[in-house]
Amino acid sequence: MHVLITGSTGMVGKSVLIECLEHKSVKKITVINRSSLGLKDSKINEIIHKDFSNLKSIKPKIEAYDACFHCMGVSSIGMNEDRYAELTFNITKDLVDLVFEKNPNMIFNYVSGTLTDSSEKGKIMWARIKGMTENYIFKKGFKDAYAFRPGGIIPEKGVKSKTAWVNFLYIILKPFFQVFSKTFVRSSDFGIAMINSVIFPQELKVLENIDIKRLSIQK
């Protein structure tokens, strides 16, 4: 399969990228990033694009993909609703519209989060916007689409967050990861679940931690 990955310089996207590189079913990987991965591999085709608010210039570079793993995201901390919507909903909408034009039969996976509000009417700002984003993807008309809602991801294989305080938090919490096993998913399991969603179609379209773990071991 040929997959498109966004956010592969971040912790979640890099975790997915690593599993795609190791998986025999993934033959080609296209990544769209603001900066280079600095990684050379025959599977990887890298598109460097600085401004995700304007994707028109990369339209000629968009190919036929079997799946898109949209792992790019930002924290809502310190943001007002308009700014968070711009960086979460608007950018995702533009990406969805761009890839759907050439790939209506692809599978689109979106990294959302636990407590996302599908009604779009709740009191938590980020949850409403994540819900609005999920709903737009589901209504677009792809062959299939999934919202991955991890409560948290335990980094493995040398993966780190780009945010210093998040890395510090993981160091503190590392001895207690087993305690959080119900609310966290290991990064390798998360990446494998992404791939398996393409290989094994799922009836459930919103995948919480328990569903992600189940999908990661599906054969």
In the prediction, which pLDDT does 163 show? 62
* Residue-number span of the structural domain to which 79 is assigned: 2-216
Range 54-60 contact pairs with CB under 8 angstroms and sequence separation of 24 or more: 54/94, 55/94, 55/95, 55/98, 58/32, 58/98, 59/98
Could you give the percent of the chain with pLDDT greater than 90? 78
Q: CA nearest 97: which of 153, 129, 139? A: 139
Alpha-carbon span 81 to 178, nearest angstrom: 35
Q: Detail the DSSP E strand segments found in the chain.
A: 2-6, 28-33, 44-48, 67-70, 107-111, 144-149, 153-154, 185-186, 206-208
In the prediction, which pLDDT does 39 show? 87
Please give the tally of structural domains in the chain: 1
Condensed to tens digits (0 to 9), the pLDDT of residues 106-129 reads 999 999 999 999 999 999 999 999
In the prediction, which pLDDT does 162 show? 64
In contact, 97 and 80? CB cutoff 8 Å: no
* pLDDT-flagged residues of the chain (< 50): none
Tell whether the torsion through CA atoms of 118, 121, 127 and 129 is positive or negative: positive
The residues pairing with 145 across neighbouring beta strands, listed in sequence order, are 108
In the prediction, which pLDDT does 219 show? 87
Alpha-carbon span 15 to 124, nearest angstrom: 28
- What is the pTM for the complete model shown? 0.91
Range 214-219 contact pairs with CB under 8 angstroms and sequence separation of 24 or more: 216/185, 216/188, 216/189, 216/190, 216/192, 217/189
SS3 category, 145: strand
In the prediction, which pLDDT does 184 show? 82
Q: Identity (one letter) of the amino acid at 97?
A: D
- CATH number reported for the structural domain that contains residue 71 in this entry: 3.40.50.720
